[in-house]
């Protein structure tokens, strides 16, 4: 049977090498021509097996490198850029479930305190003693909720500008020192430029920031805050309103992903029946993991300062 042959060439600036393969059904001959050097290898089937094993080994090695390499890059990407997360916990003021557990968290967060509840002063005192940042959780009229859910001392569209300002001043006298204001319910006020402007007049006068809880898609917060010179932050994620701790953990992971993508994220949770101990425990368990991924927890005032630079 005539021998078949294949010629392979590898050319560089320094030298030229020609590999010629001659093979039949029984034997294989490899002839290397390189300059003045010539080598002959005659082995047959054993050589074929060794070549196959060698090629398989190289293939497995390269595959392993390619599989491992992306994971290493992903870890590096997670920690190469700072991602800030600010958590606001609403509904302090009732001394609701999870109040003490939330205050005991060892990460920075901001407590939003209801001003006219029966435990408002007590919760403010606890937060002050723990060194926690506070904002005013201002009750405001909603498009759908009942008036009693807001309380008699909320902000209502029927109020004059001066009445609104006096009500906000009264609330800030309870929640002190407050770094800002956010809305409790309030979709009706957040869509009303006149009423919301009156609230922001007080915020501008006192150098406070505003956090839009985004209870309506038709919010006028951005336009009014820009006009009044009030720093504005918007809620990205609601953490709770569930009895399943795994749902809260998932929402924390979502918050972290948003922060990694745009550099920061703001999440809102609750004490009381909307969250309480479940939310506090989820944050406690997840915080170390998120910090390992490069997440830096900050208060809302710290976040506003970072974004202003």
Give the pLDDT mean for 51-75. 45
pLDDT score, position 53: 58
pLDDT higher than 50, residue 269: yes
pLDDT higher than 70, residue 57: no
- Pinpoint the alpha helices (H) of the chain: 45-80, 99-103, 120-130, 147-150, 161-174, 187-190, 193-206, 221-228, 245-262, 277-292, 300-308
The fold adopted by the segment(s) 83-308 is TIM Barrel (3.20.20)
pLDDT tens digit sequence for 167-202: 999 999 999 999 999 999 999 999 999 999 999 999
What residues does each domain of the chain span? 4-80, 83-308
Backbone angles phi, psi at 11, to 5 degrees: -115, 135
pLDDT score, position 16: 42
- How many Å from the N-terminal Cα to the C-terminal Cα in the chain? 81
pLDDT tens digit sequence for 208-229: 999 999 999 999 999 999 999 9
pLDDT tens digit sequence for 32-50: 444 444 444 445 555 555 6
**pLDDT classification of 7: cutoffs 50, 70, 90:** very low
Rounded CA separation 259/293 (Å): 11
pTM of the model: 0.74
pLDDT score, position 309: 87
C-alpha distance from residue 259 to each of 40, 83, 182, 267 (Å): 63, 5, 21, 10
The mean predicted confidence, pLDDT, of the chain is 83
**pLDDT classification of 235: cutoffs 50, 70, 90:** very high
């Amino acid at each position: 049977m005539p021998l078949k042959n294949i010629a392979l060439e590898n050319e560089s600036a320094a030298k030229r090498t020609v590999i010629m393969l001659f093979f039949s059904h029984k034997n294989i001959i490899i002839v290397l021509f390189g300059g003045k050097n010539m080598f002959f290898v005659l082995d047959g089937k054993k050589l074929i097996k060794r070549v196959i094993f060698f090629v398989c080994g190289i293939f497995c090695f390269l595959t392993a490198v390619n599989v491992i390499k992306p994971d290493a890059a992903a870890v590096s990407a997670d920690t190469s850029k700072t991602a800030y997360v600010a958590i606001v916990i609403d509904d302090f003021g009732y001394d609701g479930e999870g109040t003490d557990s939330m205050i005991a968290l060892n990460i920075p967060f901001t407590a939003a305190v209801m001003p006219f509840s029966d435990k408002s002063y007590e919760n403010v005192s606890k937060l002050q003693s723990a060194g926690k940042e506070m904002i005013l959780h201002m009750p405001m009229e909603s498009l759908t909720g009942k008036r009693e859910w807001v309380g008699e001392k909320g902000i209502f569209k029927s109020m004059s500008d001066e009445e609104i300002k006096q009500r906000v001043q009264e609330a800030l006298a309870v929640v002190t020192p407050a770094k800002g204001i956010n809305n409790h319910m309030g979709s009706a006020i957040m869509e009303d430029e006149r009423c919301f402007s009156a609230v922001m007049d007080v915020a501008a006068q006192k150098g406070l920031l505003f956090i839009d809880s985004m209870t309506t898609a038709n919010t006028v917060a951005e336009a009014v805050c820009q006009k009044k010179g009030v720093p504005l932050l918007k809620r990205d994620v609601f953490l709770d309103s569930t009895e399943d701790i795994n749902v809260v953990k998932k929402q924390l992971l979502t918050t972290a992903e948003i922060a990694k993508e745009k550099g920061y994220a703001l999440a809102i949770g609750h004490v009381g029946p909307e969250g309480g101990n479940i939310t506090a425990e989820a944050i406690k368990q997840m915080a170390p993991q998120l910090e390992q991924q490069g997440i830096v927890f900050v208060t809302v005032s710290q976040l506003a300062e970072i974004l202003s630079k």
